[in-house]
Structure 1
Amino acid sequence: MHARALAATTTALLGTAAFLPPTADVRADAAVKRPTVIAHRGASAYAPENTLAAVDKAAALGIDWVENDVQRTKDGKLVVLHDDNLRRTTDAEEVFPSRAPWKVRDFTAAEIARLDAGSWFGPAYAGARVPTLAQYVRRVDVHQQKLLLEIKNPDLYPGIEGQTLKVLGNEGWLDRRHVAGRLIVQSFSAPSVRAVHQLKPAVKTGLLGTPSVANLPAYAVFADQINPSYRSLSSGYVSTVHAFTGPHGRPLEIFTWTVDTAATARRVAGYGVDGVITNKPDVVRTALGGN
């Protein structure tokens, strides 16, 4: 651990770091950097999550970054869906009534493509489909957006890290332009994040969760970000994370989730986070002083 990391760690552990009040405003001085705003599962407060419509809505709001989730089908295709089953966000229960518990891994990509992934959200989105990862990144590219991609449940899908990178490569997302500033791959699984880094060291990676300070040196070897829930954050923890240097020679970053109110957005920005993941990116952007 670097000396500056040790000092910050000591401060955090002793609890001497100051906490900003919940309504603290982001100062407009040069020392405060406005966090990046990331549309969680697309602009998911306004369109069905993880669909192309949610990507389009984020683009219409002028949001550069979108976040998504990747699962794998029975026939080995990658689809964009948060849950490991199809019940909550599709009509799988109606279309395939005898296929309980409707796990993604028990359905082929062609079967999933038949499902309505929009009606649950509202009639205006009836007929929206679960996109494949290839379809999703193409739409993100159309809008010249950037992607925070989460590998979901990697224990259910052995080898999904390499497969995800293969799809990204086939779609042109591993070229210098994308890797340099338009792509981050994250997961709650440290082994999964490590696998992505080992397979493609140039790709920026993030570890979801709030790991202990003692584990940060090990994670900094292969993760560029530590991405916790906003409920677990303090200014001391953020400072401690920033004190470590990641695999690409830069301080570790923090993207926090899932922030949907102006007051919370201002609070975590005051802590010094680098990004805010939100279902309501327009609300957060306005709270942080964006247009």
Structure 2
Amino acid sequence: MHARAVAASASALLGLVALLLPTSGARADHEAVRPAVIAHRGASALAPENTLAAVDRAHRLGFTWVENDVQRTRDGVLVVLHDAGLARTTDVERVFPGRSPWRVRDFTAAEIARLDAGGWFGRRFAGARVPTLRQYLARVERNRQSLLLEIKNPRLYPGIGGQVLDELDRAGWLDRRHRSRLVIQSFDAPTIRTVHRLRPAVRTAVLGAPTVAELREYARFADQINPRYTKLTVGYVAAAQRLRGPHGRPVEVCAWTVDRPVDALIAAGHGVDCLITNRPDVVRRALSVFWTSLP
């Protein structure tokens, strides 16, 4: 979409969103409620998700934070991939036609390295590979980006939390210099509890929306509560942010996966700390138009 059309669309939303935004309960300071924008699986609306190309596209667009997903191969190598299966985002069915259901855990790292992880997205990305976590970390470091790392399907991969920490440690990501640039998250709260126990200095997040009554317990081991944006209310965000996380700072709330400008503006009005989005450029532009229009 051209910049003029995007600006016109965002402007048209302002009146609607002004009516939808809460008038009390959210933070009053406009600057305080402006959330950070995190590129989900890299800039995944513009390049194949979880590839180095998606990380680089987010970097070129000026986004500091990227989100990624981690699975484990049959021979114990950590790879960056969202699904437990390979079929949706690679050509595994063509390369290994007799290996259905094409689960990540049934393939070695060498076999996965043969797969095209970009051609499904567009011809220009053909030949992109599924990166190992080690390769991914090196690229994020080269770009001087920050990382929201999601441990996927930990019940399929016993001990993966500790293994992720070991890989981060080898890559130098657990030192004091990187602490502000790393958050480890999962839908599985016990895994995040384990990560916090093993490396208390590392910031952590739980995906999902625990009940308000459960938030105090979660704040013992999670610095962030990251719910789907449709689960947000002003009261829920405020209840989480009133608590102190394991590092003595207010618990943050990051909403996912927010791709439409109107949803981004409503979530921002609820007072969230960050938005996770496949379309970071669109969301950033909508937020910028909205906040600069306020008195």
Same-fold status (TM-score > 0.5) = yes
Match of 2:128 in 1: 128
Cα contact 1:72–1:105 (8 A) shared by 2: yes
- Please give the TM-score of this superposition, normalised by the length of structure 2: 0.89
Q: CA deviation at 1:24?
A: 7.7
RMSD (CA atoms) = 2.0
- Please give the TM-score of this superposition, normalised by the length of structure 1: 0.90
Q: CA deviation at 1:72?
A: 0.3
Match of 1:56 in 2: 56
Q: CA deviation at 1:224?
A: 0.5
Distance 1:151 1:21, change over 3 A: farther
Match of 2:101 in 1: 101
Cα contact 2:27–2:33 (8 A) shared by 1: no
Match of 1:10 in 2: none
3-state SS of the aligned residue for 1:288?
helix
Cα contact 1:23–1:264 (8 A) shared by 2: no
Percent identity between matched residues is: 64
Q: How does 1:1-291 map to 2 (within 5 A)?
A: 21-22=19-20, 29=29, 32-179=32-179, 181-289=180-288
Distance 1:50 1:271, change over 3 A: same
Q: Distance in 2 between matches of 1:155 and 1:21?
A: 44
Q: Distance in 1 between matches of 2:18 and 2:235?
A: 11
Cα contact 1:260–1:279 (8 A) shared by 2: yes
1:93-123 CA deviation, whole Å, 9 max, x = no partner? 1100000000000000000000000000000
Q: Distance in 2 between matches of 1:33 and 1:22?
A: 15
Distance 1:56 1:262, change over 3 A: same
Gap runs ≥5 in structure 2: 1-16
Q: Distance in 2 between matches of 1:121 and 1:23?
A: 36
The alignment covers a number of residue pairs equal to 272
Q: CA deviation at 1:216?
A: 1.0
Distance 1:252 1:20, change over 3 A: farther
1:161-200 CA deviation, whole Å, 9 max, x = no partner? 1100111111111111111x10000000000000110010
3-state SS of the aligned residue for 2:235?
helix
Q: Distance in 2 between matches of 1:172 and 1:162?
A: 15
Cα contact 1:185–1:204 (8 A) shared by 2: yes
Q: CA deviation at 1:33?
A: 3.2
Q: Structure 2 counterpart of 1:201, which letter?
A: P
Q: CA deviation at 1:136?
A: 0.3
Cα contact 2:260–2:283 (8 A) shared by 1: yes
3-state SS of the aligned residue for 1:201?
coil
Q: Structure 2 counterpart of 1:244, which letter?
A: L
Cα contact 1:208–1:226 (8 A) shared by 2: yes
